[in-house]
Structure 1
Amino acid sequence: MKFAIVFAALFALAVAAPPASHQEAQVLRLESDVGVDSFNYALETSDGTAQQAQGQLKQVDPENAAVVQQGSYRFIADDGQTYTINWTADEFGFHPEGAHLPVAPEA
């Protein structure tokens, strides 16, 4: 069930309506393969937005499981720059990385 909720939330984010000042983007590529304990999808639109992710169910301990995921997304911001985020998500949380994101200092 967690898997379905996470996938639905990510997909809704991908196809959310653009601001009124932007033209409506067309879907150029949409691939999806959803299994019982894994998924893989990719989306690319005509406005330069793209995202992809894959994940699988991981047995964390005898009583708990988590969907371990990795992926990336990119978009063109209002400043004309293309921003890319590579991320992982697992039982320890969401971990984004991008050249424009701040990095916490080492302890």
Structure 2
Amino acid sequence: MQMVIVLLSLVALAASAPQKPADQAVAIIKQDFDQQVDGSYRYRYLTEETGSLKKASGPDSSDVIIAQGAFSYTAPDGTVINLNYVADDENGFKPEGAHLPTPPPIPPAIQKALDYLATLPPPPPSRN
């Protein structure tokens, strides 16, 4: 299910990139697809995504596909946008790029409280 969400996220991300009018379609200069018997794959269209199998941690320990890739495009203001990503069933879609917002640092007082809470024993089970 998460892989479907990851794929839909990639489609949404690609669709949100600046689009050219239909009469200015960009030609695909190079396109390759290599599917292996074990389920691993490689797509290439002036960009690249690779997939590999990995044993999932947890009780079911089934194989999961890890997709890694990158793409770039030029924003309307002329800035070149580069995005690298890793996606799998365990951790979801994790993009990286200088253009992506980052969270502010945790204030020292809050970090101190979080560190203290991490040292406490777990609460007893609820008896509802």
2:67 & 2:98 partners in 1: Cα distance?
A: 21
RCO higher in 1 or 2 (8 Å CA, sep ≥ 6)? 2
2:31 counterpart residue number: 30
1:57 counterpart residue number: 53
Structure 1 residue 34 displacement after superposition: 1.2
If each structure's helix is expressed as a fraction of its own residues, which one has the higher value?
2
2:55 & 2:99 partners in 1: Cα distance?
A: 34
1:43 counterpart residue number: 45
Structure 1 residue 10 displacement after superposition: 5.9
Percent of matched pairs sharing the same residue: 32
CA separation of 1:81/1:100 partners in 2, compared to 1, >3 Å: closer, same or farther? same
Q: Identify which of 59, 73, 76 aligns with 2:74.
A: 76
Structure 1 runs not aligned, ≥5 long: 45-50
| 3-state DSSP of counterpart to 2:78 | coil
Question: Moved runs in structure 1, 4+ residues, more than 3 A?
Answer: none
RMSD of equivalent CA atoms: 3.2
- CA deviations 1:17-57 (Å, max 9, x no partner) are x442771111111122112320112102xxxxxx2110112
| 3-state DSSP of counterpart to 1:28 | coil
Structure 2 runs not aligned, ≥5 long: 107-128
TM-score norm. by structure 2 comes to: 0.59
If each structure's strand is expressed as a fraction of its own residues, which one has the higher value?
1
1:40 & 1:86 partners in 2: Cα distance?
A: 15
